[in-house]
Chains A and B, each alone.
Chain A
Amino acid sequence: GAVVSQHPSRVICKSGTSVKIECRSLDFQATTMFWYRQFPKQSLMLMATSNEGSKATYEQGVEKDKFLINHASLTLSTLTVTSAHPEDSSFYICSAPAGGPDTGELFFGEGSRLTVL
């Protein structure tokens, strides 16, 4: 099956620093990728839609200047949490529709757990 890989799986950083999370589609091209955030004991919340070659689309309430998304190629999207604070500590998960944008079958990465001290 389609594989989506995230890196790093875990990251601990100091408050005020920036953290970059990579999401790669390993065996297929993804013009669209989705970034989710999941707090402990809660469900996944869509943060933004990453579009190859154009600006990302952010969900309401998500600060685009804080969560920078770059979709530089058909296999790579990055999420940069800028000036991270403890409240940004969360499980960040990316996904991509392996069958193209006209599908609800998403393949998810392993997730990246961010802890901001």
Chain B
Amino acid sequence: DAKTTQPPSMDCAEGRAANLPCNHSTISGNEYVYWYRQIHSQGPQYIIHGLKNNETNEMASLIITEDRKSSTLILPHATLRDTAVYYCIVSRKGSARQLTFGSGTQLTVLP
């Protein structure tokens, strides 16, 4: 599976949009981009995934560049409860076993 690169940490003001970038320049055509987050001392939580089109759900939006080499997770109105480590993972769909968690981005939402 393709590797991803994320900034180790980011801050965001409460109520503002949080934009979390992820580089995956070696992504293959059949690989999806998945985003998970892990609040301290809890199990990870699935957020969203996409292949090449932008995706939106009740939690977030996922913007994937046209060349698919990078993506951005957008939390439109960050709250203090969004403080967590956010993981960007690239994997073939149907291979949940192959989801490899990197070091992620520690997002801190500031009051």
Residue-wise interface mask of A (26-39) relative to B, using a CB-CB cutoff of 8 A (1 in contact, 0 not): 00000010101000
**Chain B 84-98 interface residues, beta-carbon cutoff 8 Å to A:** 87, 89, 91-97
Give the complex CA separation of A104 and B88 in angstroms: 12
Give the complex CA separation of A44 and B91 in angstroms: 16
How many A-B contacts if CB must be within 8 Å?
67
Q: How far is the CB of B51 from chain A (nearest CB, A)?
A: 11
Whether the Cβ atoms of B34 and A108 lie closer than 8 Å is no
The residues of A that contact B97 with a CB separation of less than 8 Å are 32, 34, 46, 49, 57
Give the complex CA separation of A67 and B7 in angstroms: 34
**Known contacts A49-B97, A103-B93, A105-B49; is-contact A43 B42 (Cβ 8 Å):** no
Whether the Cβ atoms of A110 and B43 lie closer than 8 Å is yes
Instruction: List the B residue with the shortest CB-CB distance to A93.
Output: B43
**Known contacts A93-B44, A111-B43; is-contact A106 B99 (Cβ 8 Å):** yes
The residues of A that contact B89 with a CB separation of less than 8 Å are 104
The residues of B that contact A49 with a CB separation of less than 8 Å are 97
Give the complex CA separation of A93 and B45 in angstroms: 12
- Given A44-B38, A110-B42, 15 more A-B residue pairs with CB atoms under 8 Å apart are A6-B43, A32-B96, A34-B97, A93-B43, A94-B43, A97-B96, A101-B96, A104-B49, A104-B92, A104-B96, A106-B46, A107-B46, A108-B44, A109-B43, A113-B41
- B residues sitting closer than 8 Å to A (CB atoms) are 32, 34, 36, 38, 41-46, 49, 87, 89, 91-97, 99-104
